[in-house]
Chain A
Amino acid sequence: MFDNLLLGLMAALQWKQFLFMILGTVIGLWVGVLPGIGGPVTMAIMIPFTFAMDPLSALLMLASVSVGAAFGGSVTSILLNIPGEASSAATAYDGYPMAQQGKARVAMGLSAGASMVAGLVGVLILMFVSGPVAKVALAFSPAEYFALAILGLTVVSVAAIGSTLKGLAMGALGIAISLIGVDSILGVERYTFNSVYLLDGISFVPVMVGLFAITELTSMIIEGGTVAKSGKLEGSLWDGFWDTFRYPFALTQSTLLGAFIGVIPGLGATAANFLAYGVAMRTSKHPERFGKGAPEGVIAPEASNNSCIPTGLIPALTLGIPGGATAAILLVAVTVQGLRPGPMLFTSNPQLIWGFYMGLFVGCIMATILYLIMIPWFAMITLVRIELMAPMLLIITLFGAYASDRNVMDVFVAIGFGLFGYFARRHGYPLISLVIGLILGKLAEGSFHQALQISDHDYSVFVLRPLSATIFAVCLILILWPGVKRRLGKGGAEST
């Protein structure tokens, strides 16, 4: 093991790999800041540039783009309430209130600290437990995947700020939107109304741009002034960075949750980001501070999405099964290099695998340093007049929606969701729930049908399998617990 680590470190620290990692990280940080243009899109664009590279340089550059984008995605979430990456959307819920209080630098310091620690832990998990963890993930049947999707929706709806009923309704709406397009089981067109655009379903990017960017822009224009209401920046970057370690429970819990979600194919960093926020809020001693600038509200989502990225590579590297878009693109890059992904890669190319692991480890530290250097410049944007900034952001975000598929319809979809999101948010409908419903909708329906097919249409499969029954029991407890707690509280109050 030690030999492998040393071998990997020597391979990763060659000047050539180092330069490619810096290049990938800077590009990742930059695209992470731009809403609508995510890490996977950029990685896909960059694949042709890797044809002439050696395998390790190619993999490290692409992986650095992904790590950089995860760091960069939090910048606009915190500063403008507009997530640069879908996987940083929940970071805005407490990061933006901190920016409004003039503590943008502190929030970004918290984000940097949590991202670095979680990223490093994620890489360590990838190194040491990839084999056994991949086996656990493989033991999940469709019934468990369905139960997990329902658990994801339940946690977010119950933990969302505002009414649980509204949270569940938005979750249902998200699932309903995910049903648009060609049905994955029978190949039947659903809710397409003969539109070619709707055949593939509604793309995730314009919905995110609309719900988060356009919704926030509308609120910004109505409010006016500057994002930092006091007109000045308070607190330092390092206060935030070191503050991360004052919340060890939130940091550890969210890092491990993100790492676990990363291993399960199909869930990914966006689900991890939202789920970790919900769980941190439910387990916090001060849940009332969430949504108003709680440091744990920044630490939890940032830790989870950054630990999720390395562990998301576990099924891809060990079994050749991509868990998400990032892993799929890396697998393409491996194949393009003439290598065969899977268990054989570990024995035939240990230098490549361990070089890649150590490169990711070094890349996390490098991304943190670059992020910390660039933060003071980014934070100045909270002092710019909204009257000048709003049109710029409108152009960038709507062009981002257009650029994802080069389709003007995406611009109108983003606008529609943006206006709906503005009124929904004003009336306490949590937008998080809609996004989670949209992400998990296809997974829920697909695994629901697969479970029924495997069990010969026996609906008891969801409650007879111990693991899925346990997950459903957790869902039930989460929904009923607030009411039980209220009744217990009342009973206690009456008895005293």
Chain B
Amino acid sequence: MQATRTRTDSRVTNYWREEFALAAVLLVLFGAIVAFGIGLPFDARLFPLIIGAAGIALCMLIGWEELRRRGATAPSDVVAEDDPAANATWPRFVTALLSAPVFGLVFWLFGFFVASLAAMFVMPPLMGYTNRRMMVVVGLATVAVLAAFFPYLVGVDLPHGVVVDWLIDQLKSH
């Protein structure tokens, strides 16, 4: 009983932390719109200042509304017992949040093939998928099909990544 209450308490605390952090992030963004807009000529700054000021007022109202709600709402109404985000294991949660940024970084550095193969072979095990044979077959087939069709379908060459481009330049110069 004690353990359940502690778990619920921490989930609710985390929820409110996220809620106020989001309002704060928006407040900073709107504040920046106003701050960086002040130095612009009148016609160019008019709209940004109106939108920035409205945004700041809205963020403060949201913060006030959420403060009132925090005092008046039962914990079970804030975070549901079956909320997937609150119940996810940490490897799954980290995979969810970091897979896109890591893919983007690998895509930029090493290009389409390395990033795609890494995504197909690393993400499923991190999410608890155990059928390795299926994973390898699906991964190789997906990357091969996408690599074959993307350039024709979209009219875009597959990027090599900055590292591979640099290596190619080095090899050419020698």
**A61 cross-chain contacts in B, Cβ below 8 A:** none
Question: Restricting to A60-119, which residues have a CB under 8 Å from any CB of B?
Answer: none
Instruction: Determine the distance from Cα of A399 to Cα of B40 in the docked complex, in whole angstroms.
Output: 36
Q: Mark B52-67, 1 if CB is under 8 A from A, else 0.
A: 1011001101100100
Q: Is the CB of B112 within 8 A of A172?
A: no
Whether the Cβ atoms of B104 and A415 lie closer than 8 Å is yes
**Complex: how many Å from CA A444 to CA B50?**
12
Interface size class, chain B: 35 or more
Chain A residues within an 8 Å CB radius of B59: 169
Known: A387-B127, A391-B119, A399-B146. A172 touches B100 (CB 8 A): no
A402 near B159 with CB under 8 A, answer yes
Q: How far is the CA of A218 from the CA of B26 in the complex (A)?
A: 21
Known pairs A166-B62, A411-B108; A423 contacts B18 (CB<8 A): yes
Whether A419 and B97, one on each chain, are in contact in the complex, defined by CB atoms closer than 8 angstroms, is yes
Q: Does A342 contact B (CB under 8 A)?
A: no
Q: Mark each residue of chain A from 366 to 400: 1 if its CB lies under 8 Å from any CB of chain B, else 0.
A: 00000000000000000001111011101110110
How many of A's residues come within 8 Å of B, CB to CB?
60
Chain A's nearest CB lies how many Å from the CB of B46? Answer: 8
Least CB distance from A78 to B in Å reads 21
Q: Identify the closest chain A residue to B58 (Cβ).
A: A169
- Interface flag for B72 (CB, 8 Å): no
A-B pairs under 8 A by CB, number: 172
Across the interface, A222 reaches (CB within 8 A) one of B88, B116, B155, namely B88
Give the contact stretch, choosing among B1-9, B30-38, B166-174.
Answer: B30-38
Q: How far is the CA of A386 from the CA of B99 in the complex (A)?
A: 14
Decide if A261 is an interface residue (CB 8 Å cutoff). no
CB < 8 Å: which of A224, A386, A399 contacts B112?
A399
Q: Are B40 and A190 in contact (CB under 8 A)?
A: yes
**Cβ of B129 and Cβ of A388 under 8 Å apart?**
yes
List residues 125-171 of chain B with CB under 8 A from any CB of chain A.
Answer: 127-129, 134-135, 138-139, 142-143, 146, 150, 153-156, 159
How does the 8 Å CB contact mask read for A184-212 relative to B, with 1 for contact and 0 for none? 01101011000000000000000000000
A445 to B65, Cβ gap below 8 A?
A: no
| Distance of A45 Cα from B40 Cα, bound (Å) | 39
Residues of B contacting A173 in the complex (Cβ-Cβ under 8 angstroms):
26, 29-30, 55
- A206-240 contacts to B (CB < 8 Å): 214, 217-219, 221-224
Contact across chains for B44 and A165 when beta carbons are under 8 A apart? no
Report the separation of the CA atoms of residues A185 and B119 in the bound assembly, to the nearest whole angstrom. 45
Tell me whether B71 is interfacial, beta carbon within 8 Å.
no
> Which chain A residue shows the least CB distance to B20?
A427
Chain A residues with Cβ below 8 Å from B155 are 45
Identify A415's interface contact among B100, B135, B139, CB under 8 A: B100
Determine if B153 and A31 form an interchain contact, defined as CB atoms under 8 angstroms apart.
yes
For the complex formed, measure the closest distance between the CB of A486 and the CB atoms of chain B, giving whole angstroms.
Answer: 15
Taking the closest CB of chain B, its distance from the CB of A401, in whole angstroms, is: 9
A218-B97, A222-B93 given; A387·B33 CB < 8 A: no
Chain A residue with minimal CB distance to B151? A403
Q: Which of B104, B124, B150 contacts A411 (CB 8 A)?
A: B104
Measured between beta carbons, the chain A residues less than 8 angstroms from B43 are: 183, 185-186, 449
A163 CB contacts on chain B under 8 angstroms? 62, 65
Residue of B18, B119, B135 with most partner-chain A CB within 10 A: B119
Q: Would A445 and B95 count as touching, CB distance under 8 A?
A: no
Most A CB within 10 A of own CB, among B37, B154, B155? B154
Inter-chain CA distance A221–B92, complex, in Å, is: 7
B142 touches A221 (CB 8 A): no
Q: Determine the distance from Cα of A486 to Cα of B54 in the docked complex, in whole angstroms.
A: 25
CB <8 Å contact, B62 and A190? no
Tell me the complex Cα distance, A219–B85, Å: 8
Q: Which residue of A lies closest to B120 (CB)?
A: A391
- Residues on the B chain within 8 Å of A214, using CB: 100
The 7 A-B residue pairs whose C-beta atoms are closest, nearest first, are A387-B129, A221-B96, A391-B119, A169-B58, A172-B55, A188-B44, A223-B84
Q: List 26 A-B contacts (CB under 8 A).
A: A168-B58, A172-B58, A173-B30, A186-B44, A188-B40, A188-B44, A190-B44, A222-B84, A224-B92, A224-B128, A387-B124, A387-B127, A388-B138, A391-B119, A391-B139, A394-B119, A395-B143, A398-B107, A399-B150, A408-B159, A411-B104, A418-B100, A419-B100, A419-B101, A449-B43, A449-B47
